Chain A
Amino acid sequence: MHLPVIFKVLSLLSAIVSLSMVLPLGWSLWDGSSDGKAFLLSISAGLIFSAVLFMAGKNADYNDIGVKDGFLVVSLSWIFASLIGALPFYISGTIPTFAGAFFESASGFTTTGASVLSDIEAVPRGILFWRSLTHWLGGMGIIVLSLAILPFLGVGGMELFKAEVPGPIPEKITPRIQQTALYLWGVYAFLTVAETVLLLLGGMNLFESLTHTFGTVATGGFSPLNRSVGQYGSAYFDWIITVFMFLSGINFVLHYRLLRGHFRPLARDDEFRTYLWIVLFCIAVISADLLFRGNYDSIAEALRYSAFQVVSIITTTGFATADFELWPSFTQLILLLLMFAGACAGSTGGGMKILRLLILSRHTRAELKRVLHPHAVISVKVGGKVIDTRIQSSVTSFLILYVAVFIAGVFFMTSLGMDMESAMSGVAASLGNVGPGLGSLGPMDNYSAVPEAGKWLFSLLMLMGRLELYTVLLLFFPGTWRK
């Protein structure tokens, strides 16, 4: 473990997060609202913090980042980012308790989108913009962002990249990690601009277009409106956002290839095809269910609402256009399961990731085959590529860990007095970075009533979910801290 280099990288990240508050500060100054002072204070506090860290790690060499340091840097920088990000909420008094402010900030960076705010529209625009901006920064990843803009992270950067990018097998698209990070952010920025323009064309104002876009492409889910996207009641907005949520749930490496004019990798990608089929199948089943039970009258409406909800949940965005708590429990169960599945590896979405489920199912199939043919040599393949046994076992243990953390979380939440349905869906929604759950945490409710201890736990679960368990769990593993 090389503490100085850890401090140095953390200092840079803190500086980036602090400086990004200049954008919401702009909105507050434009509006002349009261939150401007909170931002100024937060920026200064963040920069001072960053300076202290920098002094502590002044002489460190970036090439010293080892495997262990990579994990530590990544998990600590997400915790620090959430801490600094919580300052504006707390200082401006928008959220009275620090637990709540941290929850909101962690929920933003991890692109969960669960909120403790009850009356969102009463909050000044600067704060709302910051809330959505945390989504955007966290979506592609603050580490990947710093890799893209700080060329000197070099070799050590690979460790950081692996620890942050979701999915079992992070992929580089160019030889240099910095360029890969730059291209990924390029694709991300492209999607952002495209959606913002399309929303503007539909008549949404600039502020709401930007905040909704941030929430969409990062698969976050914060909306500046009390009733989320549903408030507009516009089919155009619903479909635009549905499409962009779907796109953001695809591996960004495939987007990059597609933008370069290579269509084949997308069409042939096993994970993408599975993702597409799951989405189409669930939309079909839920629309049929909704029509059959009379929730909606026309096919167009049923399709529109089910598509939005299905895509929003599977990509772990968490926008809502309908209160699905009023839907049949059969569809509710499908949605709950989708929370676990999540989107594709290498996307901005959360959950367990389709790729892992794919590997797991192929692995299971191979095991069954081995029972029938004890002498057979069977390799597990996804997309024509053989999956290493080491990756297979890491995927299996990921699933076990995921379930174990889920169960532990539910135990803890029920011990705080929460009802079963809310606890289960809330833990699943936090761990999967979805946002809204069921019961008292449904799409039209919020997390403000959760006890303080529960908010801390939810924040931890969100961070664990975003960094895919191992990275954060290593913090609690004694070996990490030993020399």
Chain B
Amino acid sequence: MSHVDEGTLHAYLDGELPSAERTALEAHLADCATCRANLTEERALRERAAALLGSARPAERPAPPLEQLRRESKRSPWHVRRSFAWAASIALALGIGYYLRNPVEEMAPANTPAPEFGLYDRQAAPSGTLPAKAPPGRRPAPPPRPPRPAAAELAQMMEKDSAATRVALRSNEALTHAGPPSAVAAAAARPRVDSPSANLPTVDGVLADRSQPALAQANARGAYNRSARELVDTAWPVINQPAARSILGAEPVGLPGLTTRKIRRSPGSDGTVVVEQALDASTVIQIFQRAASAGSLSDSTSYGFTGGFERARANRLARFVGRLRVEITGPLSADSLNRLLEQVAPLP
């Protein structure tokens, strides 16, 4: 047997040599001083390489405490991302699977309301019955839907949005081109029910455009972000924080530590304010907010604020923060937006 090559020696040292070869190698080593010396050398090399790599390892740490994250997040948007990480770890620890277990109850109202339009329509429900005045805490009974398709739908959505997150981190613009059209197109293809929205408090400037075919088509092409953003950009007057405070009756909310680019108010009289914040150079999120009393929306419906074209994108999530009802949108996954939404707080 000729001398053993270094690849075989490393495989041997790694315990990855098939047993027949190992036996042969060991027999050879017993007889061959050169290969024994080589083995010693390669072992040292292997250990040194492992030690070097080991010295460049991250500290193994559990999810950092919230307070620390808050402090870090004040420094730069870069650090804010860690708080997503933290949130994700908590979500995983608590069982992020709740998204999948209970999609209709928990996620569908905020994330995938579009099918409900379709259902209301299909069931020929009187359009005025949408619970615009539903008492807080009582959800409108979700239309019976087989859970499996809902879960699949959600999974598909999250899958697409995960990809979208990656894109969004790189470029806001890219998303508008990369936007996966299926959900959007499906929503656009659904019959529209106009009358429910008429009963709902809405952001006039945005919702008004829902019925415009041009926008619907733009939406179907996956141009959600651009159209939504530009719409607000053009139609919503920029205001300052004191003005926002007086509209809302409370301090406007945003993500701590993020730069607030602009605060705008709705062109209508519905008392809606949007805070635009930059996550990084190319990613802007919009935090829509309104005094909860002004909206009389029930907790779980996400009707209002904006039209179906945005919700079709399934990344508009809502919660109450103090006296405000807050929705968030931006070129991030629903998951990320949800985590961001959890962190909104009154602006300093």
* A and B assemble together: no
Interfacial residues, chain B to chain A (CB-CB below 8 A): none
